[in-house]
Structure 1
Amino acid sequence: MSLFAIRDYRHLFSAQVIALFGTGLATVALGLLAYDLAGPRAGVVLGTALTVKMVMYVVIAPLAAAYVDRLPRRAFLVFLDVVRAAVVLALPFVTEVWHIYVLIGLLQAGSAAFTPTFQAVIPDIVTDESDYTRALSASQVAYTMESLLSPVLAAVALAFMSFNLLFLGTSAGFAVSALLVLSTRIPDARPNAHAKAWDRAAAGIRTFLRTPRLRGVMALNLVVASAGSIVVVNTVNYVRDELGGSQSDVAWMLAASGGGTLLAALALPRILDRITARTVMLTGAGVLLGGTTAAVSLMAAGLTTWTGTAINWTVIGIGMALVVTPTGKVLRASVAPNAIPEAFAAQFSLSHLAWLITYPVAGWLGTNAGFALAWSVLAALAGAGTAGALLLWPRHDGRRAVTGPAAPDATAPRLDRSTLSKAA
């Protein structure tokens, strides 16, 4: 309750939730639009569109972090919401596949700049350590509630309207999000320690490469992307073509994964008070590896049942929450306060670089060579990521994480060893 008593956080959180639900409706609609335009090759279209999205995230997020302290952050966030609302309004009028790629590129360029800026604002508003941990969990719950409820809402809406109308819900969500951000008092960013734009953009990446626990996080990003790509890219064709389901069935299957994520996210705040983030995140990697392996086994055995798929999608959702939810806490404990924006931007970019690898595997290889082969490759990538995290993230990580260019300045509060050890 102390967290939501903070007015500015409450408004920002509400903006996040509303925009997420709009985005969730658009995600379902985009998959159905791809199927409407390309039929059995919808996986290729969706995989390509999501690859365009990842390219934008990988390239633009670090640049946004490099310049964000020079901009009024509230006005910048509002501008990006307005741009995204306008772009989404054009999606219902798409008649060619290439139109999807252009509009998704514009839309995700805005999201790539918005998300790391939004994430970096939160620690400036929620300063108490325990409240910040719960803010991270609340943010993950918001993502998972969107994953669970957006497909359900879409399934209900699709019984009464065309999927094109779902894009209108996304546009409205971005507009309301802009109004809520506009009502929030967001402090100016701390001055960045790096004068040159390239140094600013690369500083977060260098911190990840120098810090053992963050190298482990990089490996875990690959595990999340490998398992998540199966759900995000292949659910449409899998449900429609393998299981013979309807548009609403696609939405309900996506909701199964969101439900698993929600269950885990609700339980994590208390778990993270007692168990280290490393243990929780590596457990999540094991769950995701098990989920991808089960998907391959069921497909190879011809056991493509509704029940089996729903259970496996739920397991994957649980694993994703176990890895993603503690990541923000680890990042905050690994850098100085004035380096938080670039650290979040680096994680945003690096995590989506992993998706940039896995989306084409799920979309292109899954369509041209079959789900069994594509999912086998993704399971191998998940295994490599899990092994890499175990090797790169020391079991007893007592090393001070703030190094090099990210070292705190004389005016910044310092992070002591006990705080770092607790977070890791």
Structure 2
Amino acid sequence: MRLFALRDYRLLFSAQVIAPFGTGLTTVALGLLAYDLAGPSAGIVLGTALTIKMVMYVVIAPLTAAYIDRLPRRTFLVLLDVIRGLVVLALPLVSEVWHIYVLIGLLQAASAAFTPTFQAVIPDIVTDESDYTRALSASQVASTMESLLSPVLAAVALTFMSFDRLFLGTSAGFLVSALLVLSARVPNARPSAHTKAWDKAASGIRTFLTTPRLRGIMALNLVVAAAGSIVVVSTVNYVRDELVGSQSDVAWMLAASGTGTLVAALVLPRVLDRIAARTVMMTGAGVLVGGMAAAVTLIAAGLSTWAGTAIIWTVIGIGMALIITPTGKVLRASVARNAIPEAFAAQFSLSHLAWLITYPIAGWLGTSAGFTVAWSVLAVLTGAGATASVLLWPRHEGRGAVTSPVTPARQVPTTDRSTLSKAA
């Protein structure tokens, strides 16, 4: 593949693959650590840690965009990887629950700064539109493989080592990622048109609010979060309590959703070469609306079965990939090159804000009122988000509608302007 002939992309993609696998091991180990410290209250500990994570993602990403053009991006990324590696090494040493909260806050603050910065580097390295589409798909595949394989690797490792050793694997992953980033040539961010930090932090959000297609993506973020929450949050209790399954059954059900995402991500590059991103993403929204309707019907009518649940979870995985994978392509086509870091940071923050809304519904409402009520609320949010995306993102949005508050439309490079109608 021509994409992987690019040395710098190859190194960065390898870093992207290795670091998340370490994060996946941490997820398993953190749950066991919480249970070791809090026993029956482990769920509350994990829920609080997850909330801290989302808050950090929402707050830190725009602040990163405000200062990234003043920093050497390669050094910044390496520093963040080292910080994450050191924080993870400290986790096995904690003796109080509040220690977990402090360390998770530091870890997720570093991740919230790292991810949008890393995402904004890729379009500066992969300049060909077709190759960039494939880079987005490869990123989705890497993320999906992490969610599929990390629990399996953790399960195998736990057969011959204690859970605290998993943190060592995570730390090693971050340090290897740092070495790979250090070996790559990472261009610094282009100077922003804004001089004040607050203007930079807010410019990405303003771009989303003033650009029709990006307002549509904001609505699609809610669609993904509402549907994805029943997979991420509800699967454990649903499989164990409703289907009376085992811990391994939980992993297999999560794998069903991951398989759907993986298959869709592998197919999408060729599809996006021929079909507009808007069409693909709206199709994904429709798939998720249908999947949520099926999930509510399944639980409300008392028809829960292994096969039916696996099919619905797979459909949800497919729908999520249809929306998430093309998003970077639309972002790059919608802003000037010097606004790309701010746009990616804004999307990172806004997408996690949607998850911050839907996680409590799936978790807390699901626990107090039951799956039927919680999933029905999430299904309504899925439908509302899908409807809003169609209304906010016009089918025939012209080139003139895609302008950046950072750079006037006439200054957008020709290569970017040529992709505007294609992305819409």
TM-score w.r.t. the length of structure 2 is 0.93
* Cross-structure match for 1:280: 280
Instruction: Compute the displacement of 1:396 (Å).
Output: 1.0
SS at match of 1:245: coil
Greater shift in the superposed pair: 332-341 or 24-33: 24-33
* Cross-structure match for 1:106: 106
Instruction: Compute the displacement of 1:407 (Å).
Output: 2.7
* Cross-structure match for 1:334: 334
Greater shift in the superposed pair: 201-210 or 27-36: 27-36
Percent same amino acid at aligned positions? 82
Counterpart code for 1:233: V
SS at match of 2:194: coil
Counterpart code for 2:337: P
CA 1:132–1:121 in 2, change beyond 3 Å: closer, same or farther? same
The answer as to whether partners of 2:333 and 2:416 remain within 8 angstroms in 1 is no
Counterpart code for 1:420: L
The answer as to whether partners of 1:43 and 1:367 remain within 8 angstroms in 2 is no
Task: Show CA shifts across 1:343-382 (max 9, x none).
Answer: 1111111111101111111222122222222211111111
Counterpart code for 2:7: R
CA 1:85–1:44 in 2, change beyond 3 Å: closer, same or farther? same
* Cross-structure match for 1:402: 403
SS at match of 2:399: coil
* Cross-structure match for 1:78: 78
* Cross-structure match for 2:119: 119
Task: Show CA shifts across 1:46-68 (max 9, x none).
Answer: 33322211110111001101101
Q: How does 1:259-338 map to 2 (within 5 A)?
A: 259-338=259-338
> Partners of 1:170 and 1:65 in 2: how far apart?
27
> Partners of 1:348 and 1:23 in 2: how far apart?
18
* Cross-structure match for 2:384: 384
Counterpart code for 1:137: S
> Partners of 1:66 and 1:218 in 2: how far apart?
21
Task: Show CA shifts across 1:388-409 (max 9, x none).
Answer: 0011110111233123333368
CA 1:325–1:151 in 2, change beyond 3 Å: closer, same or farther? same
SS at match of 1:406: coil
The answer as to whether partners of 1:152 and 1:252 remain within 8 angstroms in 2 is no
> Partners of 2:25 and 2:286 in 1: how far apart?
30
Greater shift in the superposed pair: 238-247 or 171-180: 238-247
Counterpart code for 1:122: I
Contiguous gaps of at least 5 residues in structure 1: none
> Partners of 1:93 and 1:308 in 2: how far apart?
43
Counterpart code for 2:221: N
Greater shift in the superposed pair: 46-55 or 213-222: 46-55
* Cross-structure match for 2:132: 132
CA 1:48–1:372 in 2, change beyond 3 Å: closer, same or farther? farther
* Cross-structure match for 1:220: 220
CA 1:409–1:65 in 2, change beyond 3 Å: closer, same or farther? farther
> Partners of 1:359 and 1:403 in 2: how far apart?
32
Q: How does 1:178-197 map to 2 (within 5 A)?
A: 178-197=178-197
* Cross-structure match for 1:56: 56
> Partners of 1:78 and 1:403 in 2: how far apart?
30
CA 1:397–1:202 in 2, change beyond 3 Å: closer, same or farther? same
> Partners of 1:22 and 1:157 in 2: how far apart?
13
Counterpart code for 2:387: A
* Cross-structure match for 1:373: 373
> Partners of 2:94 and 2:169 in 1: how far apart?
17
Instruction: Compute the displacement of 1:306 (Å).
Output: 2.7
